[in-house]
Amino acid sequence: MFTVALAKGALLKESVSMFSNVGLDFSSVLEDSNRQLMIPSVCGRAKALLVRNSDVPVYVAYGQAQLGIVGFDVLQEQKLKVANLVDLGFGACHMSVAVKSCSGYLSASDLPPNCRVASKFTNCAKNYFDQIDLPVELVHLSGSVELGPITGMAEAIVDLVATGRTLRDNGLIEIEELFKSTARLVGHPLSLRLDEGTLQDIIDSIQTLSLIKHSPDGKK
């Protein structure tokens, strides 16, 4: 039996559906009455750990889960040693720099040196501003980073954007896109090397399904 790490929240429903399509039924995690954090599949071939999105690569990196599904943004932020196996295509969003719409800034390079930038993704933000050679003071916030510019604590934010509605509703605009993010199937490198075919069969099936789902005509 092997273990899969599933992320609570926006990716959960499609993650469960993806595994169901390859014969691993973890659908009980979607029931409102479910309070279990470790769930066996109906077939008994695997079990799932229900964890926070940011914890998925941690469980996979340390070998408590052999496979997991997590957003690419988390992989970029944490840089843990996991194998990035398949781009699953769902959960699409992007990492952006945003500022107050009245700020007058048109790009990230317009920001003043040493200004404050608020983010939950401070490693991603640091890497980006290092690349454009702009020194900034990073302020780590766990939520509602939009309040940074609104309150005047920060000149800008670096955050995930899906529809952009939250930014618009709070008077913010995007001025730079850092990278796009989608859900990724990840694996524990040592477990993959020692695998006798069980994990690879699951990986191959998921890759095939993902290709079919996202091909223009719905066919491989």
The tens digit of pLDDT for each residue in 121-154 reads 999 999 999 999 999 999 999 989 999 999 999 9
Question: What confidence score (pLDDT) does residue 12 get?
Answer: 95
Question: What confidence score (pLDDT) does residue 64 get?
Answer: 96
CA 148: distance to chain centroid?
22
Residue 97, amino acid: V
Rounded CA separation 124/177 (Å): 12
Residues 88, 165, 7, 59: what is their CA dihedral angle, to the nearest 10 degrees?
Answer: 90
pTM of this prediction? 0.89
Q: Per-residue confidence at 40, pLDDT binned at 50, 70, 90?
A: confident
- Kindly report the number of other CB atoms within 10 A of residue 2's CB atom: 16
Q: What are phi and psi of 27, to 5 degrees?
A: -60, -20
CA 157: distance to chain centroid?
18
Question: What confidence score (pLDDT) does residue 217 get?
Answer: 59
Which CATH fold topology does 93-180 show?
Answer: D-Maltodextrin-Binding Protein; domain 2 (3.40.190)
Contact of 23 with 13, CB cutoff 8 Å:
no
Share of the chain above pLDDT 90, in %: 84
Which one-letter DSSP state was computed for residue 61?
H
Residues 6 or more apart from 115 whose CB is under 8 A from it? 136, 137, 154, 155, 156
The tens digit of pLDDT for each residue in 162-215 reads 999 999 999 999 999 999 999 999 999 999 999 999 999 999 999 998 887 766
**What's the chain's average pLDDT?**
93
Q: Mean per-residue pLDDT for 89-100?
A: 96
Q: Mean per-residue pLDDT for 15-42?
A: 85
Smallest CA-to-CA distance from 60 within 170, 163, 184, 173 is with 184
CA atoms within 13 A on the CB side of 108: 23
For the chain, the domains span 2-91+182-214, 93-180
Q: Which CATH architecture has domain 2-91+182-214?
A: 3-Layer(aba) Sandwich (3.40)
Rounded CA separation 118/98 (Å): 10
Which one-letter DSSP state was computed for residue 13?
H
Fold agreement (2-91+182-214, 93-180): yes
Question: What confidence score (pLDDT) does residue 220 get?
Answer: 41
